[in-house]
Amino acid sequence: MAPQPLPTTQRYISPEVTAVYLVPDIVDLAAPERDELDHETSVDLTPEIAALTGWEVSTDRVAVPDLGTRKTGRISGRINPGDAQISFYASQDTEDVRTVIQRGDRTHIVILDGGDVAGQSMRVFAVEVSAVTPSVDVAGSEGARVMVDFAINDWAEDVVVPGPAS
């Protein structure tokens, strides 16, 4: 008997689907409430994002050699977040992400990979803003940007997107 196949995917590209929110207050990373995501202090960052990098979580591999063999096996070790960064478009009047995020802020970034759709999965990160740096493209080949670096302190993966507030 053949093994079970993976479920057939509904393939997509991220533009117009993935959403990214800045949510100042989340009580439980593993179960944010709709009221927290929709709070007046939360910000939908999606339309101003040029790029996202480092929002992966990976595991170290630890070598476990033993005297009985020349082969060295490996086991999973510590779990580490990436070096997270979001590149935002800059505004010439400086009324851009810099008015919302400052170095030292402690907040949450919520990435809704399949969109803000109740019952689907999202990723939730507790972060500290490490740097907010405008970049200069001397060649003039892309729109001006502000790079924001984040230190990920804690995270929750495969979190269910909550339904409408009750």
8 within a domain of the structure (yes/no): no
Percent with pLDDT over 90 in the chain: 88
Over pLDDT 70: what percentage of the chain? 99
Instruction: Let me know if residue 3 belongs to a domain.
Output: no
The reply to whether 66 falls in a domain is yes
Q: Please give the tally of structural domains in the chain.
A: 1
Contact yes or no for 160/119 (Cβ under 8 A): yes
Note down the domain range covering 110: 19-160
Q: Does 144 score more than 80 pLDDT?
A: yes
Kindly report the pTM of this predicted structure.
0.89
**Across 30-38, average pLDDT:** 97
pLDDT band per the 50, 70, 90 thresholds, residue 166: low
16 pLDDT exceeds 90? no
- Classify residue 106: in a domain, yes or no: yes
In this predicted structure, the answer to whether residue 164 has a pLDDT above a threshold of 90 is no
70 domain residue, yes or no = yes
Domain assignment present for residue 24? The answer is yes
Q: What is the dihedral of CA 147, 150, 156, 159, to 10 degrees?
A: -20
Residue 48, CA distances (Å) to 6, 19, 103 in order: 35, 11, 18
Residue 149 lies in a domain: yes
In a domain, 165, yes or no: no
Residues 66-110 pLDDT 10s: 999 999 999 999 999 999 999 999 999 999 999 999 999 999 999
CATH of the domain at 67: 2.30.110
Q: What is the mean pLDDT of residues 52-71?
A: 95
